[in-house]
Amino acid sequence: MRMILMGPPGAGKGTQAKYVADRFGIPAISTGDIFRANVSSGTELGLEAKRYMDAGEYVPDEVTNHMVRNRIDEPDAVPGFLLDGYPRTLAQVEELDGMIKFTGHSLDAVVVLTVNPEELIGRLLQRAKTEGRADDTEDVIRRRQEVYAEQTEPLIDVYRDRNLLIEVDGLGEIDEVTERIFAALTAVKQS
Ligand code: AMP
């Protein structure tokens, strides 16, 4: 299974990514987590990424693409992977197409979690209290929603046109949402 989990910041992607990937026995690859790990350990990549992340902007495509290419070349990702937070721009979609084609495989599904915008801001402000992420201040939260709408929402139509898109209601208890995602993916696997 090679799949993407998409959704606006605060839709619960990270939580769902881990459950879904576990169930399919594939790694959940979160670009945000990889960037944060690099920021914590003070690598050059982390230093570069941090200034964009703190402002709620996207890290440049070349940097992000290179990082994902290296990650999906690792042995655990050979049988499949779930991408959480990538691709986020049309240029990243093209890059990912190239990476997957190179391995002789294809993308199986793109799941989009849908949540209404007011709910999202509330969830993010809550997360700011519990996790204390540097990019969870109100201004940055709003900027991240704008960037998502401008740069990432257009990807939904691209994947819909390819018949890969599965929209899942992201509102509700965590395990309810997980079950909805499984049900939708099981239908894909059997078709
Ligand atoms: P996330 O944890 O997925 O919300 O990502 C946190 C931050 O990392 C984003 O706001 C971006 O600054 C950066 N980031 C994560 N994934 C990408 C990506 N695919 N392209 C560019 N920037 C990214």
d(CA 40, CA 96): 26
| Lowest pLDDT segment from 8-12, 107-111, 130-134, 140-144 | 130-134
| Residue 175 is assigned to a structural domain of this protein | yes
Is 13 catalytic? The answer is yes
CATH number of the domain encompassing residue 135 = 3.40.50.300
Q: For position 189, what pLDDT does the model report?
A: 62
What's the CA-to-centroid distance between 191 and ligand 1, angstroms? 32
Residues 120-158 as b/e (b if ≥16 CB within 10 A, e otherwise) read: bbebbeebbeeeebebbeeebbebbbebbeebbeebbee
Joined together, the tokens standing for residue 116 give 């209404």
Q: What φ, ψ does residue 45 adopt, rounded to 5°?
A: -60, -40
| Residue 128 is assigned to a structural domain of this protein | yes
| Residue 190 is assigned to a structural domain of this protein | no
Q: Whose CA is nearest to atom 15 of ligand 1?
A: 32
Q: Whose CA is nearest to atom 12 of ligand 1?
A: 53
pTM for the predicted model, two decimal places: 0.92
| Residue 67 is assigned to a structural domain of this protein | yes
| Residue 191 is assigned to a structural domain of this protein | no
What's the CA-to-centroid distance between 32 and ligand 1, angstroms? 5
| Residue 79 is assigned to a structural domain of this protein | yes
| Residue 133 is assigned to a structural domain of this protein | yes
Is 88 catalytic? The answer is yes
- Per-residue model confidence as pLDDT tens digits over 98-117: 999 999 999 999 999 998 87
Q: What range defines the domain where residue 11 resides?
A: 2-185
| Residue 164 is assigned to a structural domain of this protein | yes
Report the domain count for the chain.
Answer: 1
pLDDT bracket for residue 186 (50, 70, 90): confident
119 or 18, which is more confident: 18
